[in-house]
Amino acid sequence: MLLEAGIGAGLALFLFLAMLGYNIVPFVLILGISALFYFMVVQKGMLNLQSRNRYVGVKISFDDIGGQNTAKRELIEALNFIVSGDRLQSLGIRPLKGILLTGPPGTGKTLLAKAAAAYTDAVFLSAAGSEFVEMYAGVGAQRVRDLFKQAKELAKKEKKTRAVIFIDEIEVLGVKRGSHSSHLEYDQTLNQLLVEMDGLKTSSDVKVLVIAATNRVDMLDPALLRPGRFDRQVKVDLPDKEGRLQILKIHTRNKPLDQEVDLESIAQETFGFSGAHLESLANEAAIYALRDNETTIKSHHFKEAVDKVMLGEKLDRRPTTAELERIAIHEAGHAIISETVRPGSVVHLTVTPRGQALGYMRQKPEGDSYLYTKSYLLKQIKIAVAGALAEEMILGERSTGAAGDFQEAVKLARQIVVTGLSELGIVDAEKDDQAINTKIKEILYGQVEEVKRILTAQLPLLYQVAADLKMQEKISGERLRELIATYSRCA
Ligand code: ATP
């Protein structure tokens, strides 16, 4: 209203000045540019904020989150502080203002924040750190102010006394002050967040809890982690086997599974998968069942889905006949060595291109291992180099297809040396550079020689597996083991 009156008065003044013979063009230009700037920065910035902050009617409970038992326990313990606010006040305990969830992507941090809102009967408002960063100075800070204001208003509207603000990717706005090239804007935004958090009071009619998530806690400004701000940190890690099983059960609750489907063995095979991967796995398996016109989801749909989630969608690209032969030999080499050094380890091998891979051999993980012995690492090096060596033995030379395998082999050999598992004993990665490199080469050559010896002794089997693979496109672990048994009886 005031704005419209101002515009009207301004126009009248300009008309009056023009009638008196003044040149009003420069004034009009300056005013026009200012108006445009005001609209773009302030209005548009705010509008964006309004539409970006997502208010979610919360339905998630902690029971909908699989695994993460430690994270859930720690979070619930912290939330109990909030729920019993009056008691805390009577004891003079300062309120909990912020909880920081740290961990890899897709592990359920957003879910935990939503469950926290439901647990404390709060409204839930979410935003991502990147949404506060604009090229115009001051807009980020304005957005932070607005977010807190909006949370309080929403809670009142919903007749609640608590609000949870969830800020994902907090490292984008909470990066150490002074460390960013356009630091002024970042610093102002972060300062504003600190000011807002400092202003949160137990006595106010709406109590706001800020839950932030990051997978780069090392980048955060220490001021954020100071007591009274995000002084509770909850680690949200990749799920272990039991956790993966629970997550799979949650995401297959609404899906018709065939009786033969063994979720436990799928959980075993999916070491390293996050909750988001597992959700996608269950969904993809259902899509494969749909494509096959089946009414239930079968084991082989899950197997396909694991490949898809690990490597990407199957590609239509068809390799040439010569390439196909090379890929088949390469994968057969990996698979035979895998079965030799770790019997029963091959899930399947295929020459169907998928994602970045032209073909691949999938191994069963050796349980949930977080520590590796030297002998395990040496076996993995053998498996990695076997593809290229099989190509060399049968086709006379290697190809660029082994580049990734060699990188993996070097990484494993380096791991042996720098963790003190080689004959060099404990090494200083910086000072002993030369000795480390020499040892890495020695380890790699040693494994290459051994793989050549094994493959030479199994050459007829290598030819057979490669030929079958080329014909059938895919060989299961069971079929491979049958072939190996047949050839070893003939030997
Ligand atoms: P990011 O760091 O990438 O933002 P995040 O840790 O916040 O990820 P979420 O957004 O909570 O991860 O999870 C993504 C999806 O993955 C969820 O919607 C859910 O379907 C699934 N998911 C992840 N973790 C779990 C879990 N522990 N239990 C059940 N589902 C999960």
Give the residue from 189, 220, 235 where a domain finishes: 235
pLDDT at position 180, please?
Answer: 60
476 and 348 within one domain: yes
CATH code of residue 265: 1.10.8.60
Judge if 291 and 393 occupy the same domain: no
Look up residue 372 and give its DSSP letter. -
Domains identified in the chain, total number: 3
In a shared domain, residues 79 and 227: yes
Q: Which residues have a catalytic role annotated?
A: 331
Residues 129 and 172 in one domain: yes
User: Do 290 and 386 lie in a common domain?
Assistant: no
Check if the beta carbon of residue 161 is closer than 8 Å to that of residue 208.
Answer: no
- Is the domain of 276 the same as that of 158? no
Residues 6+ apart with CB under 8 A from 459: 393
Q: Rounded to an integer, what distance in angstroms lies between the CA atom of residue 430 and that of residue 436?
A: 10
In the reported structure, the alpha carbon of residue 278 is separated from the centroid of ligand 1 by a whole-number distance in angstroms of 9
Tokens for 195, please give them.
């000011």
Task: Choose one of 257, 286, 311: the last residue of a domain.
Answer: 311
Per-residue pLDDT in tens (0 to 9) along the chain, 491 residues: 445 566 677 777 777 777 777 777 777 777 777 666 555 544 444 434 444 445 555 578 999 999 999 999 988 988 887 777 677 777 777 778 889 999 999 999 999 999 999 998 899 999 888 887 765 667 788 888 899 999 999 999 988 888 999 999 998 887 776 666 555 666 778 888 888 887 777 667 888 889 999 998 888 888 888 887 888 899 999 999 999 999 999 999 999 999 999 999 999 989 889 999 999 999 999 999 999 999 999 999 999 999 999 888 777 777 889 999 999 999 999 999 999 999 999 999 999 888 778 899 999 887 777 888 999 999 999 999 999 999 999 999 999 888 889 999 999 999 999 999 999 898 887 778 888 999 999 999 999 999 999 999 999 999 999 999 999 999 999 999 999 999 887 76
**Contact call for residues 61 and 115 (beta carbons, < 8 A):** yes
Report the alpha-carbon distance of residue 270 to residue 285 in Å, rounded: 14
For ligand 1, say whether the CB of 344 is within 6 Å of any of its atoms.
no
Question: Is the C-beta atom of 246 inside 6 A of ligand 1?
Answer: no
Report the DSSP pairing between strands 207-214 and 162-168: parallel
Quote the distance between the C-alpha of residue 223 and its chain's center.
26
**Do 197 and 286 belong together in one domain?**
no
Quick check: is 170 in a domain? yes
**Shared-domain flag, residues 188 and 330:** no
Question: In this structure, what token pair is assigned to residue 60?
Answer: 């998630």
Distance CA 334, CA 393 (A): 13
| Distance (Å) from CA 237 to ligand 1 centroid | 11
**Whole-angstrom distance, CA of residue 420 vs CA of residue 210:** 44
- Rounded CA-CA distance 179/12 in Å is 49
Instruction: Please give the residue range of the domain that contains residue 78.
Output: 54-235
> What's this model's pTM, rounded to 2 decimal places?
0.79
Is the shortest distance between the CB of 338 and ligand 1 below 6 Å? no
- The CA radius of gyration of the chain, in Å to the nearest whole number, is 31
Non-local (6+) Cβ contacts of 416 within 8 A are: 374, 377, 378, 422, 443
Q: Is the CB of 212 under 6 A from ligand 1?
A: no
